[in-house]
Amino acid sequence: MTEKSRRTPRQARAEATVEAIFDATFQLLEAGGLESLTTNHIAQRAGVSIGTLYQYFGGKAEILAAMAQRRAEAARGKIAQTLIAAPQLGSVRPIVQALMTTFEGSPETRKVLLDALFDRGGDAVMAHHHQAFLAAIGGRAELNLDLSPESLFVLTHAVAGLLRAAAAEPDLNLSPAALEDEFVLLMESYLSALIVRRRGGGPAQSGAFRP
């Protein structure tokens, strides 16, 4: 069955089926990792037939990519709402927290989902989320900072790349709280420097983002 001929989950029942498949996949990843994950196991855990599963997805790679995309979109929406609710943002911590909680579960599960997101869409994934994010906050968040495509590229890829690296190196036993602080410092320092450069002022003070 081709991808075009698969059903799009438009009705509540279809959406519930997709959610059951996602939940089952997550549970199996947490229990046994990617190596033991099969579509038969997913269907059994989700309580659907293997035929039903293949009506929505072409295999486990598609399931993982769709799960990752769904979670990335949710994080993007949360960040956009944060900026809209508090346009004069005094800290990027809520943004960092939204990014860090995009993919829940063990480090191994987070790595699988991050890999699925990038493997499916390649470099276009970040470009897509850039445009969707800017569209979501367009005209509603007064950031007072005109981010060029290059600055936005550096900012988002730095954080996304570091999150992916942290998930790929669980043996480092990095503290989530300490890592959050470091991400905040990284983003605030970079944004502060951009503001200073725009104003033609002196050196930026790290640790405080004041648009």
DSSP secondary structure string for all residues of 1-44 = --TTTSPP--SHHHHHHHHHHHHHHHHHHHHHTGGG--HHHHHH
Domain match, 42 and 85 both: no
Does residue 49 lie in a domain region? yes
Answer yes or no: is pLDDT of 197 > 80.
Answer: yes
Claim to verify: residue 39 and residue 80 sit in the same structural domain:
no
Could you tell me if 172 and 97 lie in one domain? yes
- Same domain, yes or no: 162 and 91: yes
**Within-domain flag for 71:** yes
Domain-located, residue 209: no
Residue 171 lies in a domain: yes
Domain that holds residue 129: 66-199
The structure's pTM equals 0.69
Q: How far apart are CA 118 and CA 69, in angstroms?
A: 10
- Report the domain count for the chain: 2
Same domain, 179 and 84: yes
Candidate from 152-161, 168-177, 178-187 with smallest mean pLDDT = 152-161
pLDDT digits (tens, 9 = 90+) for 141-171: 555 566 677 887 787 778 778 887 888 888 8
Residues 36 and 140 in one domain: no
Please name the residue ranges forming H helices in 86-123. Answer: 93-100, 107-121
Task: Quickly state the pLDDT bin for 53 (edges 50, 70, 90).
Answer: very high
In a shared domain, residues 161 and 86: yes
Residue-wise pLDDT tens digits, 56-76? 999 999 999 999 988 888 877
CA-to-CA distance for 132 and 134, rounded, in angstroms? 6
CA-based Rg of the chain, rounded to a whole angstrom?
A: 19
Q: Do 105 and 9 share a structural domain?
A: no
Most confident range (mean pLDDT) of 82-96, 109-123, 161-175 is: 161-175
Classify residue 207: in a domain, yes or no: no
Q: Is 30 part of any domain?
A: yes
The pLDDT score that the predictor gives to residue 52 is 96
As a whole number, mean pLDDT of residues 121-137 equals 55
53 and 81 fall within a common domain: no
| Residue 92 and residue 183 in one domain | yes
Q: How many CB atoms lie within 10 A of CB 91?
A: 15
Q: Is residue 186 part of a domain?
A: yes
Please report whether residue 206 resides in a domain. Answer: no
CATH no. for residue 14? 1.10.10.60
pLDDT number for residue 62: 94
Residues 102 and 169 in one domain: yes
Q: Which of 37, 58, 79 is the last residue of a domain?
A: 58
Could you tell me the two tokens for 35?
A: 């190596």
